[in-house]
């Protein structure tokens, strides 16, 4: 993150509070030159392909075709945590119920 913080940076938020800026702050680094801020990962990657800067995006958002991009892992790696939230009022669809049961370690019928 220290090396990236000095470069022109395309800040991709993905609509999340955890993004390049917050990750940099977690390790005590401030982004020096945020060239542009976008909400979606695809836009950020398009801007990086055009040479407008570097960005940090989740590995799961990387396209299969990396033409024009150089994807590298962060060192040390950083991870996001996800949670499953469901309604206490409605049981939901069979798919949601099966997913809920799976995450609770129950046998899915």
Cβ neighbours for 52, distance < 8 A, ≥ 6 positions apart: 8, 10, 35, 36
pLDDT tens for 72-101 read 988 888 877 777 777 777 777 888 778 878
Of 15-29, 51-65, 85-99, give the range with the top mean pLDDT.
51-65
Q: What is the pTM of this model?
A: 0.71
Dig out the tokens for 10 from the structure. Answer: 């395309």
Mean pLDDT of the chain: 86
Selection from 66, 72, 52, 42 nearest residue 7 by Cα:
52
Spatial distance between the Cα atoms of 61 and 45, rounded to a whole number of angstroms: 9
* Domain limits, the chain: 2-61
Cβ atoms 35, 52 nearer than 8 A: yes
Band the pLDDT of 8: cuts 50, 70, 90.
very high
User: Does the structure show a pLDDT above 90 at 18?
Assistant: no
Spatial distance between the Cα atoms of 61 and 109, rounded to a whole number of angstroms: 32
The tally of CA atoms less than 13 A away on the side-chain side of residue 76 is 3
């Amino acid at each position: 993150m220290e090396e990236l913080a000095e470069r022109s940076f395309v800040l991709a938020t993905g609509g999340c509070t955890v993004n390049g800026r917050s990750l940099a702050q977690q390790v005590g680094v401030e982004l020096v030159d945020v060239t542009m801020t976008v909400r979606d990962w695809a836009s950020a990657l398009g801007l990086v392909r055009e040479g407008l800067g570097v960005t940090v995006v989740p590995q799961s958002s990387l396209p299969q075709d990396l033409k024009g991009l150089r994807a590298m892992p962060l060192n040390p790696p950083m991870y996001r945590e996800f949670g499953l939230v469901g309604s206490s009022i409605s049981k939901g669809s069979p798919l949601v119920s099966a997913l809920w049961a799976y995450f609770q370690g129950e046998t899915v019928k």
